[in-house]
Amino acid sequence: MSQPPGHEPQAGAEVAGLEGARGRKSAEERQRALAQQVRSMVTQGGRVESQSDFDAVIANGKEVNHVLHAILTVFTCLICLDLALSTAPRHSRGAETSA
């Protein structure tokens, strides 16, 4: 949606509702707005990766299952080892052939 002439957005204005009609918000208001937004995102399934006074990192999705990755890694290595051993040249003692 385009803005009327003379109403272009300014840098840093109206980010997630943190900029009010009366101007800049105080630090306490910004912290309260951030806390409310974090609560909202956490209730929607997000998890807080890190948070400071004025910003937060929220991740969506599930955490990595390290046990599953370890099992799959061992399984893959065993398959590769089996393939390597099954395709390796076999030398049997005493069964030399000469042409």
pLDDT digits (tens, 9 = 90+) for 21-32: 567 889 999 999
Mean pLDDT (the chain, rounded)? 79
Position 1 pLDDT exceeds 60:
no
Among 71, 75, 72, residue whose Cα is nearest residue 83: 75
Query: In degrees to the nearest 10, what's the CA dihedral of 16, 34, 57, 67?
Result: -120
Q: 34 lies in a domain?
A: yes
Of all residues in the chain, what percent carry a pLDDT higher than 70? 71
Q: How many domains does the chain have?
A: 1
The pLDDT score that the predictor gives to residue 88 is 85
Q: 94 lies in a domain?
A: no
Report in angstroms the alpha-carbon separations of 19 from 7, 39, 67, 90.
15, 19, 45, 75
Position 17 pLDDT exceeds 70:
no
Among 60, 79, 76, 58, residue whose Cα is nearest residue 68: 76
Can you say how many angstroms the Cα of residue 20 is from the centroid of all Cα atoms in its chain? 31
Among 54, 48, 61, residue whose Cα is nearest residue 27: 54
CB 17 within 8 A of CB 33: yes
Q: 76 lies in a domain?
A: yes
| The token pair that represents 3 in the structure block | 């803005």
Q: What is the pTM of this model?
A: 0.43
Position 87 pLDDT exceeds 50:
yes
Q: Which domain holds residue 72?
A: 22-88
